[in-house]
Amino acid sequence: MSKADFLELIRPVTRAAAGRQVDAELNRHLAALFPPDGDVFGAIEGACRDGIAAGWMCAEGGEGRRFGRIFEAGADTDGLSVDVVDVDSAAGPHHRHPKGEILMIMPITPAAKFDGHGRGWLVYEPGTGHRPTVTAGEAVVLYLLPDGEIDWTE
């Protein structure tokens, strides 16, 4: 799968999030439209695994924590940047979300959790911050940032 193909695959998600408040209601909205056991979620998950295996996704970092920005925020992504991280039982650097963060959690290890959450959607509201942590195994996490904004605090 190419980056252009991946863009077309995630466009329904970015369109569904565009212009909405980044909050618990958006989390429910995405979960209803794109449930973790649904076709769109599964297709994106498979594309992430394929992109990582091909080397164009998660090309930065090293063993245990690989990451990379796939698309900058722009018209093609409805104002959201698109990043993917592949983490195996580790914590990342603390950061804040000036405009919020939308996460799609895809465990590789069935029991893996991202910030205590399993497979599915997680939305952090504007102004929140955290040290992203994967426990109990490996997970791939796709995250969308409104206008690509993130404040690294460490």
Q: What is the pTM of this model?
A: 0.96
For residue range 100-153, list pLDDT tens digits in order: 999 999 999 999 999 999 999 999 999 999 999 999 999 999 999 999 999 999
**What's the pLDDT at 154?**
74
Check which CATH number belongs to the domain holding 13 and give it.
Answer: 2.60.120.10
Domain limits at 118? 3-152
| CA angle, residues 106, 138, 50, in degrees to nearest 5 | 60
How many structural domains are present in the chain?
1
In one-letter notation, the amino acid at residue 95 is: H
